[in-house]
Amino acid sequence: MRNQIEYTVYGDYALFTDPFTKLGGEKMTMHIPTYEALKGITSSIYWKPSIIWIIDEVRVMSPIQMESKGMRPMKMDGKNDLAYYSYLKDVKYQVRAHFEFNHRRPDLQSDFNEHKHHNIAKRAVQKGGRRDIFLGTRECQAYVEYEEFGSGEGAYDNIDELHYGVMVHGIDYPDESGKEQLMTCLWTPVMKNGVITFIRPDECTIRRELSTYEAKSFTIGRNMQSVDDTYAELVGE
């Protein structure tokens, strides 16, 4: 596929929480990463407002195992509370993603340089990303390396299918959806031989409105660097 990158992301812990069930003090991770979590990781590797990352597939490399920890989160009054967080432990995923231009931002059309964006993204993968990488939450630090998707042995390669029921897919943001609303998208993932193939956000049929939200304004040269300048800095051309 055009404009595609592949990488592996790994870390000691991951916490992929369901936004509908984390209103209390306790947090419980889902067994697999959401589309939105992987999109966030990919955007931390490389992102510009002129492109949209589409997550194609994720391959679960390590066995799914969990560990609970006693935490002391801060309350609104400044005091600490006691809560238990349940994390995924020793996680590793192979990810395949590609970018498309954000045609809802015609003001950034001068930044639609496919060749330069793709080369910067591949270089960013080799360097471990341009921003901090984490798995679900900030305390779950992670690391990115280049790895060919499908290489090596995964923990679930020989399991035909695992069904996970209705789960969060991701969030529709106004700068990508064209609507001044934040929308949560749901779907029913199936892992086949260790691989989960994601549907596109616009293919999700179950949605829930969260709130009204305005897209952030970007102007090249003011609060955004052009892809030409970024390419010249990284590649020297």
Residue carrying the six token digits 């700068």: 175
Q: What is the identity of the amino acid at 190?
A: V
- pLDDT bin (cut points 50, 70, 90) of residue 219 is confident
Mean pLDDT over the full length of the chain: 91
Backbone angles phi, psi at 197, to 5 degrees: -100, 120
Is 0.85 topped by the overall pTM?
A: yes
- Please report, for the chain, the start and end positions of each structural domain, with discontinuous segments joined by +: 4-162
pLDDT of residue 104: 87
pLDDT score at 222: 83
pLDDT in tens, 89-123: 999 999 999 999 999 888 899 999 999 999 999 99
Q: Mind listing the pLDDT tens digit for each residue in 58-97?
A: 999 999 999 998 877 766 776 777 778 899 999 999 999 9
- Which residue has better confidence, 106 or 42? 42
Distance, CA of 237 to CA of 233 (rounded, Å)? 8
Output the pLDDT for position 155: 97
Residues of the chain with pLDDT > 90, as a percent, come to 66
Residue with tokens 């799914």: 64
Q: What is the CATH topology of the domain spanning 4-162?
A: Alpha-Beta Plaits (3.30.70)
- pLDDT beyond 60 at 237: no
**Cβ–Cβ under 8 Å, residues 144 and 9:** yes
| pLDDT exceeds cutoff 70 at 187 | yes
Rounded to an integer, the average pLDDT of 179-201 is 93
pLDDT of residue 22: 64
- Alpha carbon of residue 38 to chain centroid: 2
Residues near 225 by Cβ (< 8 Å), separated by ≥ 6?
Answer: none
**E strand or H helix that includes residue 68:** strand 66-71
All residues at 6 or more sequence positions from 190 whose CB lies less than 8 Å from its CB, including other chains: 161, 162, 163, 164, 196
More confident residue, 212 or 39: 39
With cut-offs at 50, 70 and 90, classify the pLDDT of residue 161. Answer: very high
Q: What is the pLDDT of residues 137-156, one digit of tens each?
A: 999 999 999 999 999 999 99
Q: Rounded CA gap, 48 and 218, in Å?
A: 10
